[in-house]
């Protein structure tokens, strides 16, 4: 049995009843502004930003607890703005689909939910949530450590200064609260034992409180500013997306519909059909046995806790469960740890790399790149490398791409672009623009992983220096990629993207 396997938790999960001790909930809460509740407030507000789920949500639970303590109703608010980086139809559609599930799940629990779609960029971004917060007794927000979220939260704290309303941020990101590992970890091997020491405390769910006061809250915003999503069909959501001032050229994913229902369905079918083969074939792009859950985790449709418990309750063997939980708990929480303890301005910045990686990059900065491609050639998947092109096309067509190929994709972007900085910012832009899971701590930490973050030094070579090497010829030798190429061709075909043999691609010239 591996020293840090998940097997010992199986009995706990299979036999365990929810714990009554809610002290573990406190570790998830950060006070952004303390003090007593706003005496003029007539409800508790939960601003749902990243944990888009109406169940298994520690932030929602905390908001219900606070509302019940004060004897007030709870109002859950979610907004969608057109001005986040690379806002487009793909991301907007996914978020609206998530919001529709939230609206249905909260309606079933008798919780007030209001959703505002800001169509135009000229409308003030924060006015609605700020007004709602000023009229609340107490506010709960999601404590997500990356992208524009920390800035949005700070802005809310500033804008509501005069009201003095208390604001608490709740960390429902992963299995173990980020605060339990109080400093930045060097690599998986340093965070793994620390996480395992904490997992038993957080494995079983706390009982989810239900709101005691269900009287409709009186809001300071007219009801016609909100969209009722409960009964909306897919075509209605498409109409809403079309009305927004965003990039309409990145089309919704045909593979990933957003929301908790689809997330649960995927989790269940992954556990039944693919988890048993995960340890053996998880890296093989030809086999497609990974979970496809990253977008659902990113937008919070599922909690890590429910995934871990379902996996441990399943009949998959220990090797398969361990291999999967290593990714979904250890690797993912390492990425969140990186973002929590690194200033946001450095999440997409090579300055965040360890010293050995920065040193090797500075020694190889002027190495000749051959071939070298322009960013336009890369974005259009016009390189000589059939595997790289397929990975890029998969990303553009579907909003996700295979994990093993992401590593290869990243290493080759480093090899083929003029500078390391150009490579890094291209990778981030591709993820912001096309990937449905692409604004997460996993995005920033994994892209920096290609440059040595959380990794070690290897034998030195041109351009990559001492970074871990990965190349297409060894990938081709390792796996039968034909089924993968066929899948990408089908996905790209469904999106009317040209699917040509690499050597015939128009404009496929190596830059000099
Ligand atoms: C250059 C590069 C960019 C990446 N960008 C992203 C990104 O934008 N968003 C993202 O979620 N992941 C990213 N990853 C990590 C990983 O490739 C994806 O999480 C995975 O491919 C998603 O597919 P899946 O859900 O089928 O994964 P599975 O293999 O089924 O894994 C289950 C879950 O574990 C987590 N996970 C898996 N691998 C990793 C990893 N290496 N690091 C951290 N968490 C992991 C994810 O949440 C994933 O959904 C990137 C990796 C690289 C090398």
Residue 488 is part of which domain span? 346-504
By the 8 A CB rule, do 48 and 101 touch?
no
**Residues with a CB atom less than 6 Å from ligand 1:** 282, 290-294, 297-298, 327-328, 331-332, 335, 403, 406-407, 410, 427, 431, 435, 437-438, 440, 442-443, 446-447, 449-450
Instruction: Judge if 336 and 352 occupy the same domain.
Output: no
Instruction: Identify the three-state secondary structure at position 126.
Output: coil
Tens of pLDDT, residue by residue over 378-432, are: 999 999 999 999 999 999 999 999 999 999 999 999 999 999 999 999 999 999 9
Average pLDDT, the chain: 94
* Interval between CA 38 and ligand 1 midpoint (Å): 42
- CA 147 – CA 408 distance, rounded (Å): 24
* pLDDT band, residue 506 (cuts 50/70/90): very low
Q: Nearest C-alpha to atom 41 of ligand 1 is from which residue?
A: 331
Instruction: Identify the three-state secondary structure at position 502.
Output: helix
Q: What is the mean pLDDT of residues 443-465?
A: 98
Q: Which of 276, 307, 340 is the last residue of a domain?
A: 340
* Interval between CA 435 and ligand 1 midpoint (Å): 11
Task: Please indicate, yes or no, if residue 237 is contained in any of the structural domains.
Answer: yes
Q: What is the mean pLDDT of residues 308-327?
A: 97
With a cut of 60, say whether residue 348 has pLDDT above it: yes
- CA 491 – CA 486 distance, rounded (Å): 9
* pLDDT band, residue 507 (cuts 50/70/90): very low
Q: Which residues contact 77 (CB under 8 A, 6 or more apart)?
A: 45, 46, 47, 48, 113, 114, 115, 116, 128, 129, 132
Count H helices and E strands in the chain, helices first: 22, 6
Q: What are phi and psi of 88, to 5 degrees?
A: -155, 175
CATH code at position 425: 1.10.579.10
With a cut of 70, say whether residue 1 has pLDDT above it: no
By the 8 A CB rule, do 97 and 1 touch?
no
SS3 letters for 33-92? ECCCCCCCCCCEEEECCCCCCCCCCHHHHHHHHHHHHHCCCEEEEEEECCCCCCCEHHHH
Whole-structure pTM value: 0.96
- CA 45 – CA 55 distance, rounded (Å): 17
With a cut of 80, say whether residue 503 has pLDDT above it: no
Q: Nearest C-alpha to atom 26 of ligand 1 is from which residue?
A: 292
For the chain, the domain total comes to 3
By the 8 A CB rule, do 361 and 465 touch?
yes
Q: Which of 323, 340, 357 is the last residue of a domain?
A: 340
Residue 387: the pLDDT is: 97
- CA 118 – CA 438 distance, rounded (Å): 22
Instruction: Judge if 187 and 221 occupy the same domain.
Output: yes
Q: Nearest C-alpha to atom 35 of ligand 1 is from which residue?
A: 328
* Interval between CA 294 and ligand 1 midpoint (Å): 6
- Best of 285, 293, 294, 330 for a ligand 1 pocket test (most atoms within 8 Å of beta carbon): 294
CATH code at position 25: 3.40.50.620
Instruction: Judge if 24 and 50 occupy the same domain.
Output: yes
Residue 493: the pLDDT is: 87
By the 8 A CB rule, do 145 and 129 touch?
no
Which is higher by pLDDT, 99 or 509? 99
- Best of 50, 403, 424, 451 for a ligand 1 pocket test (most atoms within 8 Å of beta carbon): 403
CATH code at position 266: 1.25.40.80
């Amino acid at each position: 049995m591996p020293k840090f396997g998940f097997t010992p938790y199986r009995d706990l999960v299979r036999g365990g009843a929810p714990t009554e001790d809610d002290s573990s909930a406190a570790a998830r809460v950060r006070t952004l502004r303390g003090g007593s509740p706003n005496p003029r407030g007539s409800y508790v507000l939960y601003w749902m930003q990243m944990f888009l789920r109406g169940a298994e949500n520690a932030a929602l639970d905390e908001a219900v607890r606070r509302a019940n303590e004060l004897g007030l109703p709870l109002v859950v608010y979610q907004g969608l703005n057109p001005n986040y980086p690379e806002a487009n139809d793909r991301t907007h559609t996914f978020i609206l689909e998530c919001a529709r599930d939230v609206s249905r799940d909260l309606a079933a629990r008798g919780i007030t939910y209001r959703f505002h779609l800001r169509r135009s960029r000229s409308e003030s971004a924060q006015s609605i949530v700020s007004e709602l917060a000023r009229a609340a007794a107490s506010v709960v927000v999601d404590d997500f450590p990356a992208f524009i979220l920390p800035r949005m939260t700070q802005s809310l704290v500033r804008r509501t200064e005069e009201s003095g309303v208390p604001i608490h941020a709740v960390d429902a990101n992963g299995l173990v609260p980020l605060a339990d590992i109080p400093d930045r970890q060097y690599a998986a091997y340093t965070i793994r034992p620390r996480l395992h020491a904490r997992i038993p405390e957080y494995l079983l769910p706390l009982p989810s409180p239900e709101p005691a006061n269900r009287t409709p809250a009186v809001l300071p915003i007219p009801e016609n500013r909100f969209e009722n999503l409960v009964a909306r069909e897919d075509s209605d959501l498409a109409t809403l997306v079309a009305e927004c001032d965003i990039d309409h050229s990145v089309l919704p994913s045909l593979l990933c519909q957003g929301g908790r229902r689809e997330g649960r369905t995927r989790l269940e079918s992954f556990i039944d059909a693919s988890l048993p083969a995960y340890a053996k074939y998880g890296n093989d792009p030809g086999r497609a046995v990974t979970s496809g859950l990253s977008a659902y985790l990113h937008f919070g449709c599922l909690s890590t806790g429910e995934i871990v418990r379902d996996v441990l309750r399943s009949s998959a063997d220990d090797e398969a469960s361990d291999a999967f939980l290593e990714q979904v708990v250890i690797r993912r929480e390492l990425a969140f740890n990186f973002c929590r303890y690194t200033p946001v301005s450095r999440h997409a910045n090579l300055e965040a790399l360890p010293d050995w990686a920065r040193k090797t990059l500075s020694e190889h900065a002027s190495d000749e790149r051959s071939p070298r491609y322009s960013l336009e050639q890369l974005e259009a998947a016009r390189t000589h490398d059939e595997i790289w092109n397929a990975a890029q096309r998969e990303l553009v067509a579907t909003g996700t791409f295979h994990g093993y190929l992401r590593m290869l994709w990243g290493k080759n972007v480093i090899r083929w672009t003029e500078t390391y900085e150009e490579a890094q910012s291209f990778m981030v832009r591709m993820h912001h623009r096309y990937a449905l899971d692409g604004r997460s701590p996993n995005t920033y930490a994994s892209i920096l992983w290609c440059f040595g973050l959380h990794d070690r030094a290897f034998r030195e070579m041109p351009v990559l220096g001492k970074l871990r090497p990965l190349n297409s010829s060894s990938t081709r030798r390792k796996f039968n990629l034909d089924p993968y190429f066929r899948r990408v061709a089908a996905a790209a075909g469904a999106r009317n993207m040209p699917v040509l043999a690499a050597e015939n691609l128009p404009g496929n010239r190596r830059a000099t």
